Chains A and B, each alone.
Chain A
Amino acid sequence: MANTRTIAAAALIGLAAASPSLAQDTKHVKWLDDGTVELTMDPEYGGVIKTTREELGALFGPGQKPFEGQEVTVLSLDSGPKGGISGPLYAFRPIWEELSGAKLNIALTPISELYTKTFLDLRNGTGEYDAMIVGAFFYGDLIAGNYILPVDDWYNSGDYPKWSYDAMPASLRNIYTWGGVGYGVLSDADGQVLYYRRDLLTNPEHQAAFKGEYGYDLPVPPTTLQQLRDIAKYFNGKDFDANDPEPDSGAVLHLKVREQGLYHFTTLATSFAMTPGPELTKTTNVYWFDPEDMTPLINSPGHVKALDFLKELAQYGPPAQVSWSLGEAWDYFLRGKAVFNFSYGDVSPLAQDETRSKIKGKVGAAILPASDTYWDMNTKAFVTTQEVRKVGNVTGGSWHGVISSLGDAPEASYSFLSLMAIKPASKWLATYGWDGVDPGYKYQFLEPLGEAKLEDYTNAGWDATDVKEYLQAYYDNFNAPTLLPYLRITGTQEYFDVLDSNLSAAMSGSKTSQQALDDTAAAWEQITDRLGRDKQLAAYQQAIGWKQ
Chain B
Amino acid sequence: MPDATPGRRSKPLAQALWSLLAIAITLVFLFPLYWAVSTALRNPADTFTVAGLGIPWIDFRPTLDNFRTELSTPEGLKALRTSIVVSVSAVILALLLGMPAAYALARFRFLRWKNSDITIWFLSQRVLPPVATLLPFYIIFRSFDLLDTPLALILVNATFILPFVVVILRQSFLDLPVELEEAALVDGATHFGAFTKVALPLVAPAAAATGLIIFGFVWNEFLFASSLGITETKTMPAHMAGAVDTRGVQFWFMATRALIAMVPPVLLALFAQRYIVRGLTLGAVKG
A–B direct touch in complex (beta carbons closer than 8 A): yes
Contact residues of A with B, CB < 8 Å? 73, 75, 78-84, 105, 107-111, 113, 117, 120-121, 124, 126, 128, 325-328, 330-331, 335, 350, 355-356, 434, 436
Q: Does B12 contact A (CB under 8 A)?
A: no
Contact residues of B with A, CB < 8 Å? 45, 48, 73, 138-139, 142, 147-148, 226, 230-231, 241-242, 244-250
CB distance A331 to B248 under 8 Å?
Answer: yes
Please pick, from B148, B226, B246, the residue contacting A79 in the complex, using a CB distance under 8 A.
B246
Please pick, from A84, A121, A355, the residue contacting B230 in the complex, using a CB distance under 8 A.
A121
Complex: chain A residue closest to B250, CB-CB: A327
Q: Using Cβ atoms and an 8 Å threshold, which residues of chain B touch A73? A: 231
27 contacts between A and B (CB under 8 A): A78-B242, A79-B245, A79-B246, A80-B245, A82-B247, A83-B247, A107-B231, A108-B242, A109-B242, A113-B226, A117-B230, A124-B139, A126-B142, A126-B147, A128-B147, A325-B244, A326-B246, A327-B245, A327-B248, A327-B249, A327-B250, A328-B249, A331-B249, A350-B247, A356-B248, A434-B247, A436-B246
Q: Using Cβ atoms and an 8 Å threshold, which residues of chain A touch B230? A: 107, 117, 121, 128
Complex: chain B residue closest to A73, CB-CB: B231
Whether A111 contacts B249 in the complex (CB less than 8 A), given A126-B147, A128-B148, A128-B230, comes out as no
Complex: chain A residue closest to B73, CB-CB: A81
Cα separation A105 to B241 with both chains bound (whole Å): 19
Q: Using Cβ atoms and an 8 Å threshold, which residues of chain A touch B73? A: 81
Least CB distance from A237 to B in Å reads 20
Whether A124 contacts B246 in the complex (CB less than 8 A), given A81-B73, A107-B231, comes out as no
Whether A327 contacts B242 in the complex (CB less than 8 A), given A81-B73, A105-B231, A107-B230, comes out as no
Q: Using Cβ atoms and an 8 Å threshold, which residues of chain A touch B241? A: 110
Least CB distance from A73 to B in Å reads 6
Cα separation A434 to B139 with both chains bound (whole Å): 38
Least CB distance from B78 to A in Å reads 12
Least CB distance from B77 to A in Å reads 14
CB distance A124 to B248 under 8 Å?
Answer: no
| Given A107-B230, A327-B249; 6 other pairs, CB 8 A cutoff | A73-B231, A80-B245, A81-B73, A121-B230, A325-B246, A331-B248
Q: Using Cβ atoms and an 8 Å threshold, which residues of chain B touch A356? A: 248
Q: Using Cβ atoms and an 8 Å threshold, which residues of chain A touch B242? A: 78, 80, 108-110
Complex: chain A residue closest to B231, CB-CB: A107
Please pick, from A84, A105, A120, A355, the residue contacting B247 in the complex, using a CB distance under 8 A.
A84
Please pick, from A83, A109, A117, the residue contacting B246 in the complex, using a CB distance under 8 A.
A83
Q: Using Cβ atoms and an 8 Å threshold, which residues of chain A touch B231? A: 73, 75, 105, 107, 128
Cα separation A325 to B142 with both chains bound (whole Å): 34
CB distance A84 to B147 under 8 Å?
Answer: no
CB distance A79 to B139 under 8 Å?
Answer: no
Q: Using Cβ atoms and an 8 Å threshold, which residues of chain B touch A105? A: 231
Least CB distance from B205 to A in Å reads 42
Cα separation A113 to B225 with both chains bound (whole Å): 14
Cα separation A78 to B241 with both chains bound (whole Å): 10
Interface core residue of B48, B230, B242, B246 (most chain A CB under 10 Å): B246
Cα separation A78 to B253 with both chains bound (whole Å): 14
Complex: chain A residue closest to B241, CB-CB: A110
Q: Using Cβ atoms and an 8 Å threshold, which residues of chain A touch B244? A: 78, 110, 325
CB distance A79 to B147 under 8 Å?
Answer: no
Cα separation A547 to B137 with both chains bound (whole Å): 47
CB distance A83 to B245 under 8 Å?
Answer: yes
Cα separation A110 to B237 with both chains bound (whole Å): 13
Q: Using Cβ atoms and an 8 Å threshold, which residues of chain A touch B248? A: 327, 330-331, 356
CB distance A111 to B246 under 8 Å?
Answer: yes
Cα separation A124 to B148 with both chains bound (whole Å): 14
Cα separation A117 to B245 with both chains bound (whole Å): 18
Least CB distance from A499 to B in Å reads 21
Nearest 6 Cβ contacts at the A-B interface: A107-B231, A78-B242, A326-B246, A83-B247, A327-B248, A331-B249
Cα separation A331 to B226 with both chains bound (whole Å): 28
Q: Using Cβ atoms and an 8 Å threshold, which residues of chain A touch B250? A: 327
Cα separation A327 to B242 with both chains bound (whole Å): 14
Cα separation A9 to B56 with both chains bound (whole Å): 66
Cα separation A355 to B248 with both chains bound (whole Å): 12
Cα separation A326 to B138 with both chains bound (whole Å): 32
Q: Using Cβ atoms and an 8 Å threshold, which residues of chain A touch B246? A: 79, 83-84, 111, 325-327, 436
CB distance A124 to B245 under 8 Å?
Answer: no
Complex: chain A residue closest to B148, CB-CB: A128
